[in-house]
Amino acid sequence: MAETASAPARAPEGATEPVLRVEGLVRRYGDLTAVGDVSFTIAPGETYGLLGPNGAGKTTTISMVAGLLPADAGTVTLAGEPMGPRHPAARRHLGLVPQELAIYPDLTARENLRYFGRLQRLRGDQLRRRVDEVLELIGLADRANDATKEFSGGMKRRLNIGIGLLHQPLLLVLDEPTVGVDPQSRHAILESVAALSGEGMSVLYTTHYMEEAERLCDRVGIIDGGTLQAEGTRDELVRLTGGVDHVRVSGEGDLTTTAAALRELPAVQQVDADRQGLSLTVRDAPTAIAAIVTTATGAGMTLRDVEVSRPDLESVFLHLTGRALRD
């Protein structure tokens, strides 16, 4: 059972049904349970991240969400309709961006989009208009007529995203879209996803990069060994670690006296002195930092540097599983 980071939020006024409801999904391969009892929901306009290391069960989960892989147990409901290999109708609500590229290298970006748009039954003016819109959305309008074999890895990935967007799905599902791309392309991909989310699209995003989950996702499910270990906003998840921050105060002076003065501050839980300065354990460091600096200088310390480090999703993963996110 997932550790829930917060009490369920009360539904806001006029709240609608979730776009995606996943309940008790299970998938086994022989003796291996690739996905064991995974449940989560995605609200309209929400970006939900599945964060976990290689082999955690991310691709297996979204393959079931996308109706490509039968589940051994559990249900997927998309926009109120049942979804699965035997319920293909609901697939029109979903755009899937798989990890492998599915584009034709000899065709231009526009030709690729037109081809896949026709498969989505778009025709004529509607197709032309939608292809132009998507080219803008993915930032490839100025390269629309170039053969995609000339494209960088990141540009191909963006085209891959564009193909998933052609039929204007309610939910865009992306499986680790930045793996193996250069930093500039990664940035462009993250910008594209953030822009889509800004336009109200719901997004399901899998990654093993905690920076991406922190930057893009409204809520994150931490997945490991096929089960959700915890779920919540970044801040809710970080609170699971106990939520203490670390502050390093470097400088000269009477560090013993300064340490004693700092221990009097309500937010300060622990102070350790060494030759170069002080290491503090602090509740809510951003709020407490002004008082820490004032107290330290008031006790006669000359400050050289103050450094705040706060727990992140990497710390949360370590806290929950005892292992680092990346192998």
Ligand X SMILES: Nc1ncnc2c1ncn2[C@@H]1O[C@H](COP(=O)(O)OP(=O)(O)O)[C@@H](O)[C@H]1O
Binding footprint of ligand X on the chain (CB under 6 A): 29, 32, 34, 52, 54-60
In angstroms, the CA 1 to CA 228 distance is 8
DSSP characters over 10-66: PPPTTPPPPSEEEEEEEEEETTEEEEEEEEEEE-TT-EEEEE--TTSSHHHHHHHHT
In angstroms, the CA 11 to CA 276 distance is 51
Q: Give the residue with the Cβ less far from Mg ion, 35 or 280.
A: 35
Task: Give min distance, CB of 34 to ligand X, in A.
Answer: 3
Task: Give min distance, CB of 179 to ligand X, in A.
Answer: 10
Q: 18 contacts which partner out of ligand X, Mg ion, none, CB within 5 to 8 A by kind? A: none
Could you tell me the CA-to-CA distances from 32 to 29, 147, 148, 225 in Å, in that order? 5, 43, 39, 10
Q: Give the residue with the Cβ less far from ligand X, 116 or 205.
A: 205
Task: Give min distance, CB of 261 to ligand X, in A.
Answer: 49
Q: 56 contacts which partner out of Mg ion, ligand X, none, CB within 5 to 8 A by kind? A: ligand X
In eight-state DSSP terms, residue 199 is: T
Q: Is the CB of residue 101 less than 8 Å from the CB of residue 175?
A: no
Q: Give the residue with the Cβ less far from ligand X, 50 or 288.
A: 50
Q: Give the residue with the Cβ less far from ligand X, 57 or 164.
A: 57
Residue type, 58: K
Q: Give the residue with the Cβ less far from ligand X, 148 or 178.
A: 178
Q: 255 contacts which partner out of Mg ion, ligand X, none, CB within 5 to 8 A by kind? A: none
In eight-state DSSP terms, residue 309 is: E
Q: 169 contacts which partner out of Mg ion, ligand X, none, CB within 5 to 8 A by kind? A: none
In angstroms, the CA 194 to CA 217 distance is 9
**Applying CB under 5 A, which part among 50-58, 166-174, 196-204, 224-232 lies near Mg ion?**
50-58
Q: Does 61 bind Mg ion (CB under 5 A)?
A: no
Question: Exactly one of 47, 59, 77, 185 binds Mg ion (CB under 5 A); which one?
Answer: 59
Task: Give min distance, CB of 177 to Mg ion, in A.
Answer: 11
Tokens of 283: 């509740």
Task: Give min distance, CB of 92 to Mg ion, in A.
Answer: 24
Task: Give min distance, CB of 59 to Mg ion, in A.
Answer: 3
What angle separates helix 153-165 from helix 124-137, to the nearest 10 degrees? 140
**Applying CB under 5 A, which part among 51-59, 71-79, 253-261, 266-274 lies near Mg ion?**
51-59
Give the phi and the psi of residue 62 in degrees, each rounded to 5. -75, -25
Q: 55 contacts which partner out of ligand X, Mg ion, none, CB within 5 to 8 A by kind? A: ligand X
Task: Give min distance, CB of 223 to ligand X, in A.
Answer: 7
Count of C-beta atoms within a 10 Å radius of residue 246: 15
Return the SS3 of 175: strand
Residue 223 makes CB contacts below 8 A (sequence gap 6+) with: 38, 50, 51, 52, 56, 57, 58, 61, 229
- Binders of Mg ion among residues 97 to 136 (CB under 5 A) are none
Q: Give the residue with the Cβ less far from ligand X, 34 or 255.
A: 34
In angstroms, the CA 302 to CA 80 distance is 62
Task: Give min distance, CB of 103 to Mg ion, in A.
Answer: 20
Q: Give the residue with the Cβ less far from ligand X, 176 or 245.
A: 176
Q: Which residues contact Mg ion (rule: CB under 5 A)?
A: 58-59
